[in-house]
């Protein structure tokens, strides 16, 4: 499956890149997590779902690319930005999938939005973060160490460690995407979105990995309680289960999206 790469600038001047399969099929929007890349890190799940859906996969600005916003953005502001992108694409209806921070964005994209048919959020943000900036950095270091010795390799750990250490020490270099992303993520995930979550009318599947050390079971239960038409499924794995078990994720997503 070939994806065209495009750029988009929102009403407030925020800019990013996105990938579009452009086929004449039902639209599915995929929001990646953290510093991952939608095609490079979720390639199997995206290409599997692309058999049945037109995939639109934007990059979260400042996380995967160098389009740094002028200020840190909340999940709600990023949701508005991506909905503007979908308006420009003239999509009357679509499904939304998100992982981690992208899951929180995906959920909020469905707030008072009848065009959002179904939402899937894996190991998702949305519950106000209970960690300090240092705590978030240390949790991410723990996550990267786990990935380093399983799926992602030592190279990833070496690449990210310096930026994570900067954040843990209270520093932030805008030219270092890792430290900028973690500062931005801490701001976005620290806000209270409870009044918006209750306005999500779309059927929503929440996926929680039992060994997730970043968004734990009480965080998933918080979302389940506030989102009216939500269902919670638990899987075996860590925070990045959506990347580690992509075939299983794609199967679970496909089954939920095709429900009557």
CA nearest to 33, candidates 255, 238, 247: 238
Residue with tokens 């996380």: 63
Q: How many helices (H) and strands (E) does the chain have?
A: 10, 8
The 10s digit of each residue's pLDDT in 215-252 is: 999 999 999 999 999 999 999 998 999 999 999 999 99
pLDDT at 153: 44
The ranges assigned to domains in the chain are 4-128+192-257, 130-190
The 10s digit of each residue's pLDDT in 172-198 is: 455 566 777 778 888 898 899 999 999
Per the prediction, the chain carries an average pLDDT of 87
CATH class of 4-128+192-257: alpha beta
Quick check: 235 and 208 in contact, CB under 8 A? yes
Cα 121 to Cα 5, 33, 87, 138, 254, distances in angstroms: 24, 10, 22, 24, 13
How many of the other CB atoms lie within 10 Å of CB of 156?
A: 14
Distance CA 53, CA 26 (A): 5
- From the number of C-beta atoms within 10 Å of its C-beta (0-12, 13-18, 19+), residue 143 rates as buried
pLDDT at 98: 98
How many of the other CB atoms lie within 10 Å of CB of 162?
A: 12
First-last CA distance in the chain: 27
Distance CA 145, CA 27 (A): 35
The 10s digit of each residue's pLDDT in 34-85 is: 888 999 999 999 999 999 999 999 999 988 888 889 899 999 999 999 999 9
- Compute the C-alpha angle 152/154/159, nearest 5°: 90
**Whether the predicted pLDDT of 255 surpasses 70:** yes
For residues 80-104, give the mean pLDDT.
96
205 beta partners: 120, 231
Using only C-alpha atoms, the chain has a radius of gyration, in whole angstroms, of: 17
Distance CA 95, CA 55 (A): 10
Percent of the chain with pLDDT over 90: 66
SS3 content of the chain, % helix, strand, coil (to 5): 40, 20, 40
């Amino acid at each position: 499956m070939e994806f065209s790469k495009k750029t988009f600038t929102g009403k407030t001047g925020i800019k990013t890149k996105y990938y579009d399969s452009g086929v004449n099929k039902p639209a599915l929007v995929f929001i990646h997590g953290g510093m991952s890349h939608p095609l490079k890190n979720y390639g199997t799940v995206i290409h599997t779902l692309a058999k049945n859906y037109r995939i639109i996969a934007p990059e979260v600005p400042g996380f995967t690319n160098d389009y740094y916003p002028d200020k840190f953005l909340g999940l709600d502001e990023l949701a508005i930005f991506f909905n503007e992108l979908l308006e420009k694409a003239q999509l009357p209806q679509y499904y939304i999938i998100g992982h981690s921070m992208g899951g929180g964005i995906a959920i909020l994209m469905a707030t008072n939005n009848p065009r959002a048919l179904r939402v899937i959020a894996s190991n998702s943000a949305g519950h106000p973060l209970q960690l300090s900036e240092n705590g978030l950095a240390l949790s991410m270091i723990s996550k990267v160490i786990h990935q380093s010795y399983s799926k992602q390799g030592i190279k990833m750990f070496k690449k990210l460690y310096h930026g994570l250490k900067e954040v843990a020490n209270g520093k932030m270099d805008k030219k270092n995407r890792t430290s900028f992303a973690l500062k931005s993520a801490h701001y976005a995930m620290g806000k209270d979105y409870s009044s918006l979550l209750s306005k999500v009318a779309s059927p929503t599947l929440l996926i929680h990995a039992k060994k997730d050390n970043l968004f734990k079971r009480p965080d998933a239960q918080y979302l389940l309680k506030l989102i009216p038409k939500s269902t919670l499924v638990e899987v075996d794995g860590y925070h990045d289960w959506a990347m580690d078990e992509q075939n299983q994720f794609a199967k679970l997503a496909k089954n939920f999206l095709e429900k009557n």
